[in-house]
Structure 1
Amino acid sequence: MFATAHEAESTFYEALRRADAGLLMQVWADDEEIVCVHPGGLRLIGHDAVQESWQQILAKGPLDIRPARPLVLSSLMSSTHTLIEQLTFSTPEGRQTAHCYCTNVYQKGATGWRMVLHHASNAPSSAGLLDLQDVPGTLH
């Protein structure tokens, strides 16, 4: 279905913006060896658990999530994307923005490139797209 991992990723974020759980699940591999971790959430393993979580999330409406600053590590059959997700949402105080660090892993199979892992975690509240550091700090 997806000729490239980039195409699968673009469809993933478009499905979030449209609150289209059906389209979103087309991006995911159709097997039990998939994993999803939402910010602050438990590790979800398997197609049914992943699908149920996204249906619950998207039932509340579209998500304004913009991927930014991707670092892509690819091989012949897999592609790992680490990026920053910029979330914009409404609050009683007005429109707010938050950031998550995200890793998406895609594998190439008989039906094209499909997602096998999505792991997002909250970025520090002081982080913004222009001041995030891409260079590692002290190595231990």
Structure 2
Amino acid sequence: MESQRKTFFASPQEAETAFYDARNRGDIEGLMAVWADEDDIMCILAGCPRASGYEAVREAWRRMFSGPHADVRISHALVTQGALQAIHSVHETLSAPGDRTPRPVLVVTNVYARGPLGWHMVLHHASPLPAEQDGPDLPKILH
């Protein structure tokens, strides 16, 4: 595959900032510049099937951008970083003009890997944040 990468990211945070900037602009080229060119990348958009490999990930985002535009704001970031990998867990809040009710908050995992050409995304996984439940009947789930 011919390299699609256009940008060197010195840190995973720099890559994440570029990812959300491109996403908010609906810029597929800018967004895909954040992704590693590898065939083992993976993207799971909320409510969508898993996309594996560069071309499938690009197609998933193309479909996402072909729908109504929504701005994304991230919050509640938890970051774990080593020498070659970083894991960012964030909450995404989406909003679009005309929204009458708030959209569900998404809990998102973004994984970045460091290679000879800097930091690039290898995984984006989004799913709805479970509704908070209170009380003693809340199950304790361990993975």
Map of 1:112 onto structure 2: 118
1:58 partnered with 2:58: no
Map of 2:102 onto structure 1: 96
Map of 1:17 onto structure 2: 24
Instruction: Name the aligned partner's letter for residue 40 of structure 2.
Output: E
Q: In the aligned structure 1, how far is the partner of 2:111 from the partner of 2:43?
A: 10
State which of 44, 48, 53 in structure 2 corresponds to 1:41: 48
Displaced runs of 4+ in structure 1, greater than 6 A?
A: none
Give TM-score, length-normalised by structure 1.
0.84
Map of 2:4 onto structure 1: none
Are the counterparts in 2 of residues 17 and 65 from structure 1 also a CA contact under 8 Å?
yes
Runs of 5+ unmatched residues, structure 1 = 128-136
Q: Deviations over 1:13-70 (max 9, x none)?
A: 1111100000000000001010000112211100000001101111235431111111
Q: In the aligned structure 2, how far is the partner of 1:95 from the partner of 1:64?
A: 15
Are the counterparts in 2 of residues 39 and 122 from structure 1 also a CA contact under 8 Å?
yes
Q: In the aligned structure 1, how far is the partner of 2:66 from the partner of 2:50?
A: 20
Runs of 5+ unmatched residues, structure 2 = 1-7, 133-138
Partner of 2:37, secondary structure, is coil
1:4 partnered with 2:11: yes
Identity percentage over the alignment? Answer: 36
Q: In the aligned structure 2, how far is the partner of 1:65 from the partner of 1:105?
A: 18
Which is higher, the Rg of structure 1 or of structure 2?
2
Q: In the comparison of the two structures, how many residue pairs are matched?
A: 130
